[in-house]
Structure 1
Amino acid sequence: MLIELHLLQSFPVSNLNRDDLGQPKTARFGGFTRARVSSQSLKRAARRLFTQNGLQDSDMGIRTKRLRDGAAELLKDRGRNADQSVELCQAALAELGFKPNTSTGLTEYLLFVGSAAQQELADYCEQRWDDLTKAVEEAKKKKEEAKKKNQKEKETASSRKAGPAKAAKVKPSKERLEAARRILDGSRAADIGLFGRMVADNTDFNVNGASQVAHALSTHAVVNEFDYYTALDDLRPDAEPAADMIGTVDFNAACFYRYANLDLGQLEKNLEGDAELAARAARAWLLSFIHAVPSGKQNSMAARTVPHTLLGVVREDGAWNLANAFLKPVSDVPDLMAASTEFLVRHFQQTRSFYGDAQIRHTTFAALDGDTRGFSDSEVAADLDDFVVRLLTATKG
């Protein structure tokens, strides 16, 4: 069973999602430049709303490179020596196959783990305290021996340019893999179940996300613009005119088509059959994606809008991204949102008519202006609560 969300949302002057030059992201689509907001940006914006929409902190995962430090802090709270705790947590991560940087202790990439991961790593270190202590001492001894050996050798150019050292990659034993599985366990983390994760060092720990999210694209062509600004020093003498700071900020204004879907069966599988958590996660996903707005340049532009047009579909299988409704951009119209809604509805109905709707269990539509042409009265939601309830109810039975 899948839930699909199709949203039309207009933003005024904004720079929600910047590229490496600080400009709003764009993409060529249908032969025209469109405004774009990346799927990653939208997922993060939605994830930050999950706890406002029915999930608890304990239901959420943690994305971090600093697993060592969190676990070491717990060990210190248990009365262990602080410096030794850091060393042993680092050694534990290395033998579990995550090769932290020997200088910073950061793992090579962000690990997406359950909220209990730091506790599990601390427990692992407690259980193997003596063995890890011995391993740390041996590593120090080898490092000192190597240092003495190299003192008489001239450093090569490559060694002078080398970055911080990393621990050699270790292939964990079967027992270590089981321990790593416990530490990385995401079966109680709704956001891991929703968005999945990739662990480069061991694909057995990968999770296939239950939600797919498209990059948002403008329904029309855009040209990025820039705002020229100046700033004055409050203590500048009146006799000294001119600006004390000059700069530019890039922006655009666009009506976006947003699409995301959620596979409820995959979600429950990822959460190891916990139907109650899966149901709360599905509701949080719906509400959070509807309200998701990236944080880029919001302090200076306050582009805090909500979707105008909402189309929700519950289906047994398959998925339809309706972006091709705007392959030919909306243009030369007095009401951009009304025209975009018309394009979307027409494309959906044409697709449904041609390909059939046997897999579609339920359709719900809503528009802020009340224009619901193209849908029967039974398919129209009165408000947001009704929209969400209709979709969730249709997934049952």
Structure 2
Amino acid sequence: MSLFVEFHLIQNFAPSNLNRDDTGAPKDAMFGGYRRARVSSQCFKRAIRLAARDHDLVAEAFRGVRTKKLKSLLLERLAGRDAQQAEGKIETALAAAGLKLKDDGKTEYLLFLGNAEIDGFAALIEQHWDVLAGAPVEGEKKGKKEAKASAPPEVVKQAKALLDGGKAVDVALFGRMLADLPEVNQEAACQVAHAISTHRVEREFDYFTAVDDQGGPEETGAGMIGQIEFNSATLYRYAVVDAHKLLGNLQQDKDLALAALEAFTQGMVRAIPSGKQNTFAAHNLPSFVGVCLRHAGPLNLANAFEKPLHAKADQSLTEQSVQALARHECAYATVYADSRDQWSYLDLTGAWPADRGSRAARLEDLAAWVRQQVAARLEH
């Protein structure tokens, strides 16, 4: 039985520049023939990961790290060993797994590894310290093939087996690709849409000047001038988690998969991108959070806003957005939904229909509902 956990959020942000393009302007997109504010899925995925870390929603042992500095992390774990010898043994152990370090000691590209995988490499090096090649002779440089060839066969076998995702929740949710090791790639259990505004937007410009605090009376004018582009938008955010895929990515650990869904629910809601926050402080949490357990297949409701909403004097864009979302969901559910589908929601606008699911009083209650409902369905 398929089971998809969907998240539908309406979130109004004050003037901000949360996610910039290559020119420094807020990202946008054409949708329904009108320009909309946009925050990329990559931006929100990182914000979700950081929210999970900052709010300690996932135990550190089950978190992942995206970095090129794997060597430095291993040196920290091998702090009791001779650093020069450790560097050579790290290079050999990583080469045994198919990973190469560049001259600056970093990996060739960003790796997304679970903390358990990194701990596993440190333990492997400790276990085989005496048989792993140490620091190369001065002036000698080993390629990946030579470094791998210098590792005993049992080390090569163990090193490759370490790259299993390490039950890292964020790796299981968002997936990973290692260019040199396609066999250890992990398909994401979660898909996150680009957030778009429910209404059309125009770019605005903040022209600013800065005064030199040490300027003398003879110095006039600004010490610096510039401009920053920004916008303000009510966003529709959407994400979906394949519960069975998540369970598989976490090596059939049901308790961890349920904890991951509970943490993702909170992380998704609390995630706020960090872009230009020192300038705008747009820390605005969602006004509506709807969670739907679907069985026939995922259903993104962005087309509720194909025709952009317009500001009204007597009704906020946020409230209008929730109403439009509800109308669209009801229409599409009649045609496409499964009778087993179920909603729960947080609604600060009062615009979501009371008969459309169970209302949660707090975010923690909504997260607990997700865990309980998915647990019951995974048993069948």
Mark yes or no: TM-score above 0.5.
yes
Look up the match of 1:29. 31
Mapping 1:59-70, distance limit 5 Å: 59-70=62-73
1:112 aligned onto 2:124: no
Mapping 1:110-149, distance limit 5 Å: 110-129=110-129, 132-133=132-133, 136-137=136-137, 140-141=139-140
CA distance in 1, matches of 2:231, 2:213: 31
The alignment partner of 1:306 has SS state of: coil
Instruction: Verify the 8 A CA contact 2:346 2:366 in the aligned structure 1.
Output: yes
CA distance in 2, matches of 1:304, 1:12: 8
Q: Report how far residue 331 of structure 1 moved.
A: 2.2
CA distance in 2, matches of 1:109, 1:380: 45
The alignment partner of 1:200 has SS state of: coil
The one-letter code of the counterpart of 1:72 is: L
Q: Report how far residue 349 of structure 1 moved.
A: 0.5
CA distance in 1, matches of 2:306, 2:146: 48
Match for 2:251 among 264, 272, 278?
A: 272
**Alignment TM-score, normalising by the size of structure 1:** 0.85
Q: Which moved more, 1:386-395 or 1:313-322?
A: 386-395
CA distance in 2, matches of 1:26, 1:3: 27
Match for 1:340 among 295, 311, 321?
A: 321
1:112-134: CA deviation from partner (whole Å, max 9, x where unpaired): 11213333323333454455437
Q: Report how far residue 387 of structure 1 moved.
A: 2.9
CA distance in 2, matches of 1:169, 1:198: 24
1:4 aligned onto 2:6: yes
Mapping 1:248-327, distance limit 5 Å: 248-327=227-306
Instruction: Verify the 8 A CA contact 1:228 1:249 in the aligned structure 2.
Output: yes
1:366 aligned onto 2:346: yes
Instruction: Verify the 8 A CA contact 2:86 2:134 in the aligned structure 1.
Output: no
Instruction: Verify the 8 A CA contact 2:88 2:135 in the aligned structure 1.
Output: no
Instruction: Verify the 8 A CA contact 1:53 1:288 in the aligned structure 2.
Output: no
C-alpha change, 1:320 and 1:126, in structure 2 (3 Å) is same
C-alpha change, 1:140 and 1:226, in structure 2 (3 Å) is same
Q: Report how far residue 5 of structure 1 moved.
A: 0.6
1:125-163: CA deviation from partner (whole Å, max 9, x where unpaired): 3454455437934x95578xxxxxxxxxxxxxxxxxxxx
Look up the match of 1:91. 92
C-alpha change, 1:231 and 1:142, in structure 2 (3 Å) is closer
Percent identity, please. 41
Look up the match of 1:217. 196
CA distance in 2, matches of 1:40, 1:354: 32
The alignment partner of 1:48 has SS state of: helix
Q: Report how far residue 221 of structure 1 moved.
A: 1.1
Q: Which moved more, 1:328-337 or 1:193-202?
A: 328-337
Q: Report how far residue 340 of structure 1 moved.
A: 1.4
The one-letter code of the counterpart of 2:352 is: T
Q: Report how far residue 318 of structure 1 moved.
A: 0.6
C-alpha change, 1:70 and 1:134, in structure 2 (3 Å) is closer
Look up the match of 2:166. 187
C-alpha change, 1:126 and 1:371, in structure 2 (3 Å) is closer
The one-letter code of the counterpart of 2:210 is: A
Instruction: Verify the 8 A CA contact 2:322 2:351 in the aligned structure 1.
Output: no
The alignment partner of 1:396 has SS state of: helix
Number of residue pairs matched by the alignment: 369
The alignment partner of 1:34 has SS state of: strand
Look up the match of 2:336. 355
C-alpha change, 1:43 and 1:377, in structure 2 (3 Å) is closer
Q: Report how far residue 382 of structure 1 moved.
A: 3.4
Larger radius of gyration: 1
Mapping 1:232-251, distance limit 5 Å: 232-251=211-230
The one-letter code of the counterpart of 1:58 is: A
Instruction: Verify the 8 A CA contact 2:294 2:337 in the aligned structure 1.
Output: no
Instruction: Verify the 8 A CA contact 1:187 1:270 in the aligned structure 2.
Output: no
CA distance in 2, matches of 1:222, 1:272: 44
Look up the match of 1:154. none
Look up the match of 2:60. 57
Q: Which runs of 5+ in 1 are unaligned?
A: 144-165
CA distance in 2, matches of 1:134, 1:85: 7
Q: Which runs of 5+ in 2 are unaligned?
A: none
CA distance in 2, matches of 1:73, 1:366: 43
Look up the match of 1:81. 82
The alignment partner of 2:346 has SS state of: strand
Q: Which moved more, 1:264-273 or 1:118-127?
A: 118-127
C-alpha change, 1:390 and 1:116, in structure 2 (3 Å) is closer
CA distance in 1, matches of 2:7, 2:239: 5
1:215-236: CA deviation from partner (whole Å, max 9, x where unpaired): 1011111111110000111121
CA distance in 1, matches of 2:141, 2:73: 27
CA distance in 2, matches of 1:278, 1:206: 19
CA distance in 1, matches of 2:213, 2:286: 40
C-alpha change, 1:353 and 1:58, in structure 2 (3 Å) is same
